[in-house]
Chain A
Amino acid sequence: MKPELYEVWGDTVDPRHLLYSIGIGAVVSLGTFFTAQYVLLGWVESAQMARAYAMLVGILGCLGGGALSASLFKPKRHVVVHQVDPAWRGQALIDLQNEFGDLGRLADLPPQTIAELREMDLYDLFVDYEKGLAAPASTTAPDGLRAEGGRS
């Protein structure tokens, strides 16, 4: 049977595992806190300091409870290593164009950024994009005008 899944606080959980984890977290954290308080009240002179140290131990207990839950219950995530396909880069460029309109000219870039693009194998992608734009030149004329009067 497929486990029930719910989205709680930004990620998916199995409600049974969540319930057990909360139980473990509660028992381990409070257990360490009360034990530490009991022991420390006998040891440390100032009761206030004893309680403050007990809280510190209790917080370590929280981490302990979390670690125990992490070892018992595996994440409900599907992690894939995502290798970008060169074909997708073309798609990414189209997405960018839809989002921003004109993508700008490589000629506007400082040499360092050009070198960076070459290193990432993105340079040719943008060159091809500009070649594609140059063909129907009339549509880009207003941009060309604006670029000339633009900032340095």
Chain B
Amino acid sequence: MIEPLMDQILIALGMGILGAVVFAAIGLISGSDETTTLAPLTLLVVLLGVPAPGVLTFFLAGAVAKHMTHAVPTALLGIPGDTLATPLMREANLLRNLGVPHIALRKMLSGAVIAALIAVPMAVLFAVMLAPFGDTIKRTAPWIFLAAAVAIAWFSKGRLAAVLALIPFVLIILGLQALTAQHGVKLTVSYFLGIAIGPLIAALFAMLAPAERASMRRSEVRTFSLSPDVKSSGGFFPNPFKVLDPQQSRWTAITAVISSATFVFSPVAMTVIMGEMVGARIKHVYHRLTTVLTARNGVTESTYIAEALIPLIAFGLPLSPVAAGPAAPLFNAPPRFTVDSATGEVHNLHTLLTTWEFFGYGMLAVIVAILIAYPFTMNYAYRAASWVSRKISHEAVIATFVGLILVIGIWEGGLLGLLVIVTVGLLGGFLSRFLGFNIGVQFMGYYTAVLSVPAMIALMGG
């Protein structure tokens, strides 16, 4: 009895360390979007047959580590580390102009540590409170997805345009599914990857069109001003409660709790709103900048943790923007994890782990990520930022992702898989660029196509 448990814990620990190391490195590369990186790698871990606890710790430790190291380009180079770092840019830049980017960095990291540790128990608590409604929600899942897709579209930048654009987008997915089915090919990953990597595919196509190409022309290389290295006090592992003052720790804790509860909202929106809420209550500008930054980076952690854990524990259905996007493979990764469209029956981490296991492995993942990413970033931020910006060309980053598209597409469906990635990516990329039909809405569109549409057809046929 004890031995299998020890095995599970060791696997979970190992996968947590792997996720934290890999995503701590990815976090340093500016503009490496969470969904584009977390979804495919987590999917890989799922499909390779890693036991359920290892899958969970890999994802969570990866997400937590990434949202720590993303503070490095954000604070030191003035470019957002990833999508969730964009709401941190203003405060980070103002502190950079004051000549204290290392303070911005240290505050962000400490906020992340405190919020991540709070978010796991909070998410489990909220999930347990919601669990009694789980069965009802599962039965009505196809309709909930439809409503969620419309709601998430309405609250995206595109508003009504995004809601209406759902219709052609869903139709295209249905059409592609019918086409591949004719050749006996069933694809899932290719859709996820196409959606996640759409902006790159759209940009590469735009390069080929003369008019678009002209507008992308630049006369100068971009100048990045790297802030100098400053040795800070506090040793190798500074106590986050000493880096922050009591007021900042308190605000980080409060915003972490609130943003854990509001798991259906977009993480970017929550990061912005929570920052505004804190900022409005602090008078002195320096204190306001540092406190808002602390709380906001804390929210980037707590939203990711809660939005993945709550739907996993309570429903087993991807009913949050994070669950539908970066965490999607934890819910749906056929043939291993499945969500049945008609019955709402699920087979994924929801059925494989108990609530206590979610809590235990969740805490393990967060602690592993903190032990790896926090001291690394605190001590080597300058050297890492300098190395990445001087050595890793953007061409190389693009080459890596193009390779990923080719390998995943051909692996899943041969030429058809590749064509689906390109088609969905091009369409999604342009819809996102011109209508604000963002990646989260596109993922909900995909779920509408596979879950809601069959139910709608059954209703009309019956």
Contact = CB atoms under 8 A, between A and B. Distances in A.
B395 interface: yes
B407 A59 contact: yes
Most chain A beta-carbon neighbours within 10 Å: one of B31, B400, B411: B400
Interface residues on A, range: 35 or more
B3 interface: no
Interface residues on B, range: 35 or more
Given A24-B399, A82-B227, A89-B98, A6 B47 contact: no
A2 to B, nearest CB: 8
A82 B411 contact: no
Nearest to A110: B245
Contact of A80 (B100, B224, B395, B401): B224
Interface in B323-358: none
A7 B285 CA distance: 35
Contacts of B203: 8-9
Nearest to B32: A10
Given A6-B213, A77-B221, A62 B403 contact: yes
A92 B285 CA distance: 12
B461 interface: no
Interface in A1-49: 4-15, 17-18, 20-22, 24-26, 28-30, 33, 49
B221 A76 contact: yes
A29 B401 CA distance: 10
A25 B399 contact: yes
B46 to A, nearest CB: 10
30 contacts: A5-B220, A11-B222, A14-B395, A18-B207, A21-B396, A22-B402, A25-B398, A25-B400, A25-B406, A33-B411, A55-B47, A59-B407, A62-B400, A62-B403, A62-B404, A62-B407, A66-B399, A75-B394, A76-B393, A76-B394, A77-B223, A77-B224, A78-B220, A81-B226, A88-B99, A99-B94, A104-B288, A105-B283, A110-B247, A147-B283
Interface of A: 4-15, 17-18, 20-22, 24-26, 28-30, 33, 49, 51-56, 58-59, 61-63, 65-67, 69-70, 73-84, 88-89, 91-93, 95-96, 99-100, 103-106, 108-110, 112-113, 116-117, 120, 122, 126, 147, 150-151
Given A80-B223, A89-B98, 20 more contacts: A17-B395, A22-B399, A24-B399, A25-B403, A26-B402, A29-B403, A29-B404, A30-B403, A55-B47, A73-B395, A89-B99, A96-B285, A104-B284, A105-B283, A108-B283, A108-B287, A120-B99, A122-B99, A122-B100, A147-B283
